[in-house]
Chain A
Amino acid sequence: MSKEKLIDVNDLATYFHTEEGTVKAVDGVSFEIYPGETLGIVGESGCGKSVTSLSIMRLIESPPGKIENGEILFNGKDLTKLNQKQMRKIRGNDISMIFQEPMTSLNPVYTVGDQIMEAILIHKDVSKKEARQEAIDMLTKVGIPLPEQRVDEYPHQLSGGMRQRVMIAMSLSCDPQLLIADEPTTALDVTIQAQILELMNSLKRQFGMAIMMITHDLGVIAEVSDRVAVMYAGKVVEYADVKDLYGDPKHPYTWGLMYSIPHIEKDLERLEAIPGNVPNPLNFPEGCKFNTRCQFATDKCRVDEPELEEVEEGHYSACWHVDKLEEQKAKQGRG
């Protein structure tokens, strides 16, 4: 891709200094997002996905949290160097965010109209009346029936799916260049999930914004992403085009995750998730952080930490033994 990067995250590290010790929630993460594309970020619970996105928004609670290292270039400007006032101009306007729980991410004491209008009134110089009209337009765009009526309803009068649509309306009301969606469908049931993903895809075409889609669900990632970053224990361990990643995973962790997607029609052994647990972030293992669960781990893995390396064109993996993985895949007669 020759286009200008919209956001370029380099070696980002965000730690939490707690009483028990330092939690290295994000520890050297790099990725970039180009205008209009969707980057998927996938990984198990606690691997630092939310902390990465909150770092970009500069919403890390401090103390205990702190961005320790790295830069976040947004249109060439380093967000880590901005003060809160400058950051506020960017939040909701250039970069906006939707959250996992549509139940709790809306304020129960205001109507949905009030909340969408708030987003508009913070950033645009319009009258309340115009803002209200824009709110109604946004509700129409996110596919809420009877928007003139819904605009005056309270969040508890709406279903989960409708609430998430309202959140999306809110976050897109100022036409952001980047939308960060932190598990936007996890709390919804499957059919609604599909509708929301569909909606996000169509809004992306309509608004032309880029999306950073965070999830622990590989199925969701496959559906919406152009490229994918797989995170494990605060690091990106594999980074590739969505097709390459699914067709030919180059990191034992990704490979394991794929096997944990239930393929009921295929053989049952593949239902097994990766054995073992995510390591305690207060006490990560030496070397490769996946070494406690990796079937290919060697002594080298327990001493030296691998960095992301380009193993095929545009396909990065942080593993010392990609070759062993390839052997295993060949043995199993797979991709």
Chain B
Amino acid sequence: MTKFILVLASSVFVLATPIVSVTANAESFPPIENQTVIAECGECHMVFFAEMLPRKSWLRILNSLGNHYGEDASIDSGPLKEIITFHTSRASDVLNIRGAIKWREGLNKGEAPERITTAPRFIRKHADNDFAQMWTKFKVASKADCLACHKGATRGQFDDD
């Protein structure tokens, strides 16, 4: 039953989703398929791409989930281990794909931003008027709500505006 609704819903979704053209220059991120990560890290916000922060940032974030930006996001040690491996092996200073390489640019050696929204590439890409205008127009609650402005964010596409 649930499966049927899912199939129905996803076919509607596919039909209703506009086709986003990806320019050769833009980074894109492979969709996240790890079910543990999707289940544990996608409940309060979209699942962020590991390629956007260096290894050291992820270790800090994932070892302090009991106080996660002012919230308790703690998880059991079994899934936690898998989630740490996933993030550290795809970190911006570890993986050599276009997205990761872009997000490591501008980081000093050993620098570990606390957030994606304080990483150099985020700051550089959101410094202009377009961002400020969208922020006001869509009444965005948090910079971390990528989906409010990037409809393709969960599919790893950010050049759609």
Please determine whether chains A and B interact with each other in the same assembly.
Answer: no
Contact residues of A with B, CB < 8 Å?
Answer: none
